[in-house]
């Protein structure tokens, strides 16, 4: 698989990486046996970049990943996150960026993952009441202690990234980025390029919608997408037309819609690293093959026009999910 540098950390990771959130929460009931099989299949294909967070399944996702790391720790880059605090069974959240919480959260993540060092540790969401210098300072102390290799931020503004980078190098910024979520193009992508920071694109397939295979009516009870504005009412009808156009484009190219969506992302900038999720192994090879698809400038312009930011209907999160997200 293609490799890209994780900023200037000295780490390189597979493109694509693997987003693991859905194996524990938000997209239907968890199936640990199926998830472990998917992770094993990913390793066999060459995936070596796993993305998790302490809030995914309230620690379940980190423990799941920890259960498959034995014998391959030195060949897998593990990224996890802190900062979102939720009650079991609840979607609403509060944000904790206090230095004391950063230290406690890191220890808890290390324990669940069963490792001595986290490769990439993100501040998952920002609490504006805590100065970014204090947050990054606390994270930097984890690097000094050998508990973390590289630092990252998630859903931050260019100004926050620059201020954080002045305290300690930021290896990666993670934000939602896809054909239907293009906010990072307003300035965050360019700031990452200027600072030598990797841009990790989560939900690069629009939470499955851009694959053209998602049956929204059949989503499980409790699936996060049932309450997402883009999957409801008139917004859903409008967005379905976009997905159909993407599917038609993909058929012209002899590819799947998911592959075209990922190929578009990989072509944006050499520092972009998409991390599509996969609950089943059947999607892994399809996603991995997307990096071999080369879109010419005319095709990229066509996709850019089709998915112009104002063409996508609905907010990308319900109101509760926007807590801690800074403008890109």
Kindly give, in sequence order, each residue whose CB lies less than 8 Å from that of residue 121, ignoring residues fewer than 6 positions away: 79, 80, 81, 82, 106, 109, 139, 142, 148, 150, 151, 152
Instruction: Please choose, from the candidates 198, 104, 101, the residue with its C-alpha nearest in 3D space to the C-alpha of residue 147.
Output: 104
Domain boundaries, the chain: 2-322
pLDDT at 203: 97
Tokens of 165: 């980078």
Backbone angles phi, psi at 287, to 5 degrees: -70, -40
Kindly give, in sequence order, each residue whose CB lies less than 8 Å from that of residue 260, ignoring residues fewer than 6 positions away: 246, 249, 250, 253, 290, 293, 295, 303
Q: How far is CA 45 from CA 6, 50, 68, 75, 316, in A?
A: 20, 13, 15, 13, 31
DSSP reduced 3-state for 126: coil
CB distance 257 to 247 below 8 Å: yes
DSSP-assigned letters across all residues of 275-288: --B-SSGGGHHHHH
pLDDT at 296: 97
151 - beta bridge partners? 121, 170
Residue 18: Cβ within 10 Å count: 25
Topology given in CATH for the domain delimited by 2-322: TIM Barrel (3.20.20)
The Cα 172–Cα 322 span in angstroms is: 21
Quick: pLDDT tens for 217-241: 999 888 989 999 999 999 999 999 9
Q: How far is CA 294 from CA 245, 259, 290, in A?
A: 19, 11, 9
Tokens of 59: 């620690």
150 - beta bridge partners? 120
The Cα 276–Cα 19 span in angstroms is: 5
Q: How far is CA 14 from CA 49, 65, 78, 148, 279, in A?
A: 6, 17, 12, 20, 18
56 is catalytic: yes
Backbone angles phi, psi at 51, to 5 degrees: -115, 125
Residue 106: Cβ within 10 Å count: 22
Quick: pLDDT tens for 50-82: 999 999 999 999 999 999 999 999 999 999 999
Q: How far is CA 111 from CA 55, 117, 135, in A?
A: 14, 10, 22
Q: How far is CA 135 from CA 85, 175, 230, in A?
A: 16, 18, 33
Q: Which residue has the tokens 């976009």?
A: 242
pLDDT at 91: 78
CB distance 153 to 170 below 8 Å: yes
pLDDT at 35: 97
Low-confidence ranges of the chain (pLDDT < 70): none
Q: Which of 56, 121, 122, 202 is catalytic?
A: 56
């Amino acid at each position: 698989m293609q490799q890209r540098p994780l900023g200037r950390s000295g780490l390189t990771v597979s493109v694509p990486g693997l987003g693991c959130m859905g194996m524990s929460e938000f997209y239907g009931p968890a199936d640990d046996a199926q998830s472990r099989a998917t992770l094993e299949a990913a390793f066999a294909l060459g995936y070596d970049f796993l993305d998790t967070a302490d809030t995914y399944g309230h620690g379940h996702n980190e423990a799941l990943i920890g259960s498959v790391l034995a014998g391959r720790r030195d060949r897998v880059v593990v990224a996890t996150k802190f900062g979102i605090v939720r009650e079991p069974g609840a979607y609403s959240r509060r944000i904790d960026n206090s230095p004391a919480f950063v230290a406690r959260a890191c220890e808890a993540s290390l324990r669940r993952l069963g490792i001595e060092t986290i490769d990439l540790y993100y501040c998952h969401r920002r609490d504006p009441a805590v100065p970014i210098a204090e947050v990054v300072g606390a994270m930097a102390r984890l690097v000094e202690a050998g508990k973390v290799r590289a630092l990252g931020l998630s859903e931050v503004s260019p100004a926050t990234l620059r201020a954080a980078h002045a305290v300690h190098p930021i290896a990666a910024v993670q934000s939602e980025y896809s054909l239907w979520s293009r906010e990072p193009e307003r300035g965050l992508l360019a700031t990452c390029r200027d600072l030598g920071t990797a841009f990790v694109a989560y939900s690069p397939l629009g939470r499955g919608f851009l694959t053209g295979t998602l049956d929204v009516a059949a989503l499980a009870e409790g699936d996060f997408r049932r309450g997402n504005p883009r999957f409801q009412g008139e917004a859903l009808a409008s967005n379905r037309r976009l997905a159909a156009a993407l599917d038609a484009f993909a058929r012209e190219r002899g590819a799947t819609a998911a592959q075209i969506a990922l190929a578009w992302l990989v072509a944006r900038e050499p520092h972009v690293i998409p991390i599509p999720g996969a609950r089943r192994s059947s999607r892994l090879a399809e996603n991995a093959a997307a990096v071999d698809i080369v879109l010419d400038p005319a095709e990229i312009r066509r996709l850019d026009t089709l998915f112009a930011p104002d063409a996508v209907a609905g907010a990308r999160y319900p109101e509760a999910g926007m807590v801690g997200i800074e403008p890109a």
